[in-house]
């Protein structure tokens, strides 16, 4: 069997030299098959999700943002009582929002020609503390809805924004 050269296009997307999608799951080299778009199976999808959210430092970054913002929504200013903070954070009533959405990173001129550039972009921009804030679930839905209706306006409004 001939070896396939793997090319990384977006954050964790993989394609072989023939343009076929390869499963995103770390270490899996299987081709993506219908009905899936990013993984070869439901099991790989779940495994990748666990790896990304628990081992790719997201839980730590998210926790740091909640602490920095004192478990307070940065839009409506609703503050969660001390005794309920961990419970609310775990139940996702508080969410960690990307001020400049992840979907805009290409427009910002970041390079993705190597895995090193992707990891650098993720750590230094997408998940930097300056690009993250604590929102309650309701406010996060509102911000997302606003972005989906007019992404350019939201980008222009927030492009120089740091911690609110």
Question: Domain spans of the chain?
Answer: 1-55, 57-158
The residue with tokens 């299987």 is: 30
Residue-wise pLDDT for 16-32, tens only, equals: 777 788 888 777 888 88
Long-range Cβ pairs for the range 88-92 (8 Å, 24+): 89/63, 92/137
- Report d(CA 51, CA 59) in Å as an integer: 11
Read off the pTM: 0.56
Residue 39 CB-density burial (10 A; 0-12 exposed, 13-18 middle, 19+ buried): buried
Helical pair 137-149 and 151-158, crossing angle rounded to 10 deg: 120
pLDDT value of position 112: 53
Predicted confidence at residue 148, as pLDDT, reads 75
The model's confidence at residue 156, banded by pLDDT at 50, 70 and 90, is: low
Q: What is the pLDDT of residues 105-148, one digit of tens each?
A: 666 655 555 555 555 666 667 778 888 999 999 999 998 888 77
Q: Is 130 helix (H, G, I), strand (E, B) or coil?
A: helix
CA nearest 111: which of 131, 125, 127?
125
Furthest-apart CA atoms within the chain: distance in Å = 60
The residues with which 22 forms a beta bridge, in sequence order, are 14, 31
Cβ distance 55 to 47 under 8 Å?
no
Res 77: pLDDT: 94
Provide the pLDDT for residue 101. Answer: 78
Burial of 12 (0-12, 13-18, 19+ CB in 10 A): middle
Residue position matching structure tokens 């993720």: 122
Mapped onto helix, strand or coil, the DSSP state of residue 109 is coil
Residue 139 confidence (pLDDT): 94
pLDDT of residue 20: 82
Cα dist from 5 to 22, 28, 109, 131, 144, whole Å: 11, 14, 26, 34, 37
pLDDT at 164 over 60: no
Query: Could you report the per-residue pLDDT of 38-96, keeping only the tens digit for each?
Result: 888 888 888 877 777 666 667 788 888 989 999 999 999 998 765 555 555 455 688 88
């Amino acid at each position: 069997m001939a070896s396939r050269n793997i090319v990384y296009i977006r954050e964790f997307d993989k394609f072989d030299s023939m343009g076929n999608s390869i499963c995103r799951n770390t270490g899996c080299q299987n081709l993506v098959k219908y009905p899936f778009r990013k993984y070869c199976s439901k099991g790989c999808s779940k495994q990748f999700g666990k790896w990304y959210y628990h081992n790719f430092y997201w839980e730590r970054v998210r926790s740091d943002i909640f602490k920095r913002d004192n478990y307070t929504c940065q839009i409506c200013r609703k503050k969660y009582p001390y005794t309920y903070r961990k419970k609310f954070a775990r139940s996702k009533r508080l969410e960690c929002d990307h001020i400049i959405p992840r979907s805009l990173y290409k427009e910002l001129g970041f390079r993705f020609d190597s895995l090193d550039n992707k990891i650098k972009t993720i750590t230094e921009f997408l998940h930097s503390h300056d690009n993250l804030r604590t929102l309650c679930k309701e406010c996060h839905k509102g911000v997302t809805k606003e972005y989906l209706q007019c992404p350019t306006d939201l980008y222009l409004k927030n492009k120089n924004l740091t911690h609110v």
